[in-house]
């Protein structure tokens, strides 16, 4: 597509969209996704800065709850403080895995000493499912390996005994510190925005929501006759991914991640909160990794396949695209590439995911052609290859990066490829995120 033609299309699309959104209550809905909230931060940057949109309704689950609550603080015109800047700063401020999760001692013991661990790391596969299925897949494969390869006397038996009493794989303390440090409930209460974060009660099994004042609601919007809870605790409950993190207490009950029942909490904004238009952001690419040897799989792998891969993916697909559709009131932004998995904290990959979220939002919302969408994805993959050329990416089991294409041994060549792709997109006139888009990364 010629540069001038695309610039005209982009300009016209912006004008039409802003006119269509004028005087409508706008909702932003964010899915769960662990550290893949980086993609969501990039999408939101485009909505705020390129399109100039501001939400009046914010709904989130899991990491989406953290983002929704932070955005619900609103902007401060007197000081110049902007909520979107603070959301992005949270992700760019993450430097290592310890900023989001720290293994419990028993898991660290298994990871470091069990003789089969090194082989497992190369076979877990990052996949493209939701954050919850991604993490649970690793856990169930680990357990399956234990059954097939009973541990020897290297300290693993003691670690397994400790595991039987454990409530989670990793400590929630890093997330708790982040939430306590970043969230300001008084700002949320004074912003005038409608906030809902979802969590599932272990006692009742029901999905419930908490608003910006700490009030609890049933799924159908009925207020619960319960004392108000701290918004910080509600956000932590929403982010309490089962098995990964321990449950969080709210009002005498224990809660886990809202994504257990609703990965993308779009229906609430659509049916109950009066949204005129909804921008729904999905943190990870839907889909199930193909299997070719199901007949050779054991009990744990079969259970994982059905309950962790297929079932959550079906839930997400129905939430993104229900049988009768959402109509023109909803715009869903879904990545075509998972730049990193939900447990990875790597500054270069987080920056790449933020920029990809910005470009992907532009491609979807402005309805650019397939060529631009493919270019956005290839820029993301080039940045993944550039990072991979520098060495392993730390993770729970050091999983390989997904869907990035062949990696050369020469990081300088990967950067040259990236520069050409970025220059091509800039020349086309398609919206680009601020900054260098990774072309100035040292190799």
Kindly list the distances between the CA atom of residue 18 and the CA atoms of 11, 24, 91, in Å, as whole numbers in the listed order. 11, 10, 28
Q: Cβ distance 7 to 362 under 8 Å?
A: no
pLDDT at residue 314 in the model: 87
Instruction: Express each pLDDT in 315-342 by its tens digit.
Output: 888 999 988 899 999 999 999 999 998 8
Residue 46, pLDDT > 90, answer yes
- Whole-number average pLDDT of the chain: 86
Q: What's the pLDDT band for 430 if we cut at 50, 70, 90?
A: very high
Secondary structure (3-state) at 118? helix
Supply 65's token pair: 């709850």
In this structure, the number of other CB atoms found within 10 A of the CB of residue 12 comes to 11
Give the 3-state secondary structure of residue 155.
coil
To the nearest 10°, report the CA torsion of 405, 359, 286, 318.
-160
Using the structure block, give the residue that is written with the tokens 């004392």: 227
Mean pLDDT throughout 111-122?
Answer: 49
Euclidean distance between CA atoms 382 and 117, whole angstroms: 29
* 111 contacts 120 by C-beta, under 8 angstroms: no
Determine the pLDDT at residue 133: 54
Question: Residue 141 above 70 pLDDT?
Answer: no
Task: Show the tokens assigned to 343.
Answer: 């447990």
Residue 17 has pLDDT above 50, yes or no: yes
Contacts of residue 133, Cβ cutoff 8 Å, sequence gap at least 6: 127, 308, 309, 312, 313
Helix or strand holding residue 200 (H, E) = strand 194-201
Paired with 331 in beta bridges are 279
**Which residues have C-beta within 8 Å of that of residue 406, sequence separation ≥ 6?**
385
Between the ranges 241-255, 372-386, 406-420, where is the mean pLDDT highest? 372-386
Give the model's confidence band at 117: pLDDT under 50 very low, under 70 low, under 90 confident, else very high. very low
Indicate whether 383 pLDDT > 70.
Answer: yes
pLDDT at 282 exceeding the cut of 70: yes
- pLDDT of res. 119: 47
In a 13 Å sphere around the CA of 167, the CA atoms on its Cβ side amount to 10
Say which residue, 371 or 108, is predicted with more confidence.
371
């Amino acid at each position: 597509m010629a540069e001038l033609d695309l610039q005209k299309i982009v300009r016209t699309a912006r004008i039409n969209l802003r006119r269509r959104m004028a005087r409508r209550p706008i909702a932003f809905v964010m899915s769960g996704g662990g550290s893949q909230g980086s993609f969501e931060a990039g999408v939101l940057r485009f909505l705020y800065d390129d399109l100039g949109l501001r939400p009046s309704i914010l709904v989130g689950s899991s990491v989406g709850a953290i983002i929704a609550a932070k955005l619900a603080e609103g902007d401060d015109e007197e000081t110049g403080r902007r909520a979107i800047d603070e959301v992005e700063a949270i992700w760019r401020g993450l430097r290592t895995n310890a900023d989001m999760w720290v293994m419990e001692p028993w898991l660290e013991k298994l990871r470091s000493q069990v003789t089969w661990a090194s082989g497992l790391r190369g076979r877990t596969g990052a996949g493209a499912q939701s954050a919850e299925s991604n993490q649970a897949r690793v856990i169930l494969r680990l357990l399956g390996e234990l059954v097939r390869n009973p541990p020897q006397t290297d300290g693993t038996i003691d670690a397994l005994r400790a595991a039987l009493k454990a409530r989670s794989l990793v400590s929630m303390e890093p997330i708790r510190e982040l939430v306590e440090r970043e969230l300001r409930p008084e700002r949320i209460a004074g912003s005038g925005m409608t906030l809902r974060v979802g969590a599932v009660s272990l006692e009742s099994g029901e999905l419930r929501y908490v608003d910006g004042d700490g009030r609890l609601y049933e799924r159908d919007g009925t207020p619960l006759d319960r004392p108000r809870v701290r918004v910080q605790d509600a956000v932590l409950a929403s982010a309490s991914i089962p098995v990964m993190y321990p449950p969080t207490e709210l009002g005498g009950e224990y809660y886990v991640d809202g994504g257990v029942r609703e990965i993308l909490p779009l229906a609430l904004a659509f049916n109950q909160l009066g949204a005129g238009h909804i921008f729904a952001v999905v943190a990870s690419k839907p889909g199930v990794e193909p299997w070719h040897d199901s007949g050779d799989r054991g009990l744990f792998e079969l259970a994982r396949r059905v309950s962790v891969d297929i079932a959550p993916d079906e839930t997400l697909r129905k939430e993104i695209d229900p049988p009768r559709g959402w109509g023109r009131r909803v715009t869903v932004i879904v990545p075509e590439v998972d730049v990193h998995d939900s447990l990875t904290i790597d500054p270069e990959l987080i920056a790449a995911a933020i920029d990809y979220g910005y470009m992907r939002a532009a491609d979807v919302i402005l309805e650019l052609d397939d060529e631009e969408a493919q270019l956005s994805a290839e820029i993301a993959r080039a940045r993944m290859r550039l990072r991979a050329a520098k060495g392993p990416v730390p993770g729970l089991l050091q999983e390989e990066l997904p869907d990035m294409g062949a990696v050369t041994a020469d990081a300088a060549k990967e950067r040259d490829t990236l520069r050409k792709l970025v220059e091509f997109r800039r020349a086309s006139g398609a919206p680009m995120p601020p900054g260098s888009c990774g072309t100035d990364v040292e190799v």
